[in-house]
Amino acid sequence: MQFAGESNVMSVQNFDFIAFSFARMQLRGRDVNLDNITGNMNATSKKWFQNRYNFYLSEFKDQSVKA
């Protein structure tokens, strides 16, 4: 999976949405296994996905503390 070029903009948006969704599920108590989710990704894509997942998880935790 490569994220370069205009043709892959939708792929980036889709994977960002998936990272967002799994982070919300984790915060709501669902068991999320990132190794299973990213198991078939190449190393670059896996790192990108994990970074986005961690970003959203941190954002959601910050929001819940402020609420």
Local confidence pLDDT in tens for the 67 residues of the chain: 555 555 576 788 899 999 999 999 999 999 999 999 999 999 999 999 999 999 999 999 887 767 5
Domain ranges of the chain: 5-66
- pLDDT at 67 (0 to 100): 58
Q: What's the gap between Cα 62 and its chain centre? A: 17
CB 60 within 8 A of CB 24: yes
What would you report as the CA-atom Rg of the chain, rounded to the nearest whole angstrom? 13
- pLDDT at 38 (0 to 100): 95
CA distance 43 to 4: 15
Tallying the residues shown for the chain, one arrives at 67
CA distance 45 to 52: 11
DSSP state of 5: S
- pLDDT at 65 (0 to 100): 66
